[in-house]
Amino acid sequence: MLISLSEIMTTKDKVVQARVPIDLDRFEFQGESYEFQKKDSMELTITNLGNKKVLIEGGTDLSLKLFCSRCLKEVVYPMNISVSKEIDFNLTEEERTEDLDETNYIIGYNLDVDTLVYNEILIGFPLKLLCDEGCKGICKNCGANLNEKTCDCDNTEYDPRMSVIRDIFNNFKEV
């Protein structure tokens, strides 16, 4: 959803509060698509600071359906999105990029709320998520979930650098 910031910038010290629905259906990241379990509206407060500067503050609560990194069980991951951004329209987009201010959620004088929320989810997205600290994962041989049952597979892992010595010992066993 786009919010026009030009109206807010015309009046000094103008404050606008808005409850904006999030139009994102899914969160797309690295070729994967994740559903939302919960998605509240974004509460925004936009303040004109004067001299073509705008302060955007807001927040929302949402939950994503993710998968455990070890056993692939579905896990609901809650996120609290909180935003406080100051936008200086005196700077060009190139100058904002040089200042490492990635403002791809500003299109002209419009605020793209969905892009802003997407960026905040991306920042808080976990690199590795476990369903439980003691998650045992999946058996590499038979694919059984080791949290639910045990298997009789041989899971001994050998150091590949020692394969020559292991072959020597195996040859002596045959004699």
- pLDDT at position 42 is 93
Q: Dihedral angle at the C-alpha atoms of 20, 25, 28, 31, nearest 10 degrees?
A: -170
The Cα–Cα gap between 82 and 166 comes to 57
The tens digit of pLDDT for each residue in 23-75 reads 988 999 989 899 999 999 999 999 988 888 899 999 999 999 999 999 999 99
- What residue segments make up the domains of the chain, in order of their start? 2-124
The Cα–Cα gap between 33 and 121 comes to 13
- pLDDT at position 174 is 57
Quick one: tokens of 28?
Answer: 């797309």
Q: What does DSSP assign to residue 145?
A: B
**How much is the mean pLDDT over the chain?**
86
Measured between its terminal Cα atoms, the distance across the chain in Å is 77
Nearest alpha carbon to residue 8 among 41, 42, 44, 50: 50
- pLDDT higher for 64 or 172? 64
How many CA atoms within 13 Å lie on the side-chain side of 17? 2
The Cα–Cα gap between 66 and 73 comes to 8
pTM, entire model: 0.77
User: Does the pLDDT of residue 101 top 70, yes or no?
Assistant: no
Q: Are 89 and 52 in contact (CB under 8 A)?
A: yes
The DSSP line for 5-54 is -HHHHHSTT-EEEEEE----SEEEETTEEEEEEEEPPEEEEEEEEETTEE
Percent share of the chain, pLDDT over 90: 42
- pLDDT at position 165 is 86
User: Does the pLDDT of residue 157 top 80, yes or no?
Assistant: no
The tens digit of pLDDT for each residue in 61-96 reads 999 999 999 999 999 999 999 999 888 888 777 776
